[in-house]
Amino acid sequence: MKRKLSYIAALFLIASSFTSCDMLGDGCQVCQTVSYENGNPIAWGTESEYCDQELLTIKAIPPTTYNGVTTQWECR
């Protein structure tokens, strides 16, 4: 009985160390800034891979507009 409990506890510990995103490979995305003027893209930033909390932070940044040019983060 103790042995079964140990296996169950170990299995639970291993299972809880993964999130659904990690298991599916969706924990990271490639993102870049894109600037638009009159709805047309005019400039692109350098693509970089962001994961986990850093990715959530990037996605939470709202678009900014200056002199008619709107810049926003786009991830794929």
What pTM did the predictor assign? 0.64
Report, as an integer, the average pLDDT of 6-26: 50
State the pLDDT confidence band at 70, using cuts at 50, 70 and 90.
very high
Instruction: Provide the domain limits for residue 59.
Output: 2-75
Could you give the percent of the chain with pLDDT greater than 90? 64
**pLDDT, mean over the chain:** 81
Higher local confidence (pLDDT), 68 or 15:
68
Structure tokens at 58: 């990037």
**What is the tally of structural domains in the chain?**
1
What string of DSSP letters covers 13-71? Answer: HHHHT--HHHHHT-SEEEEEEEEEETTEEEEE---EEEEHHHHHHHHTPPPEEETTEEE
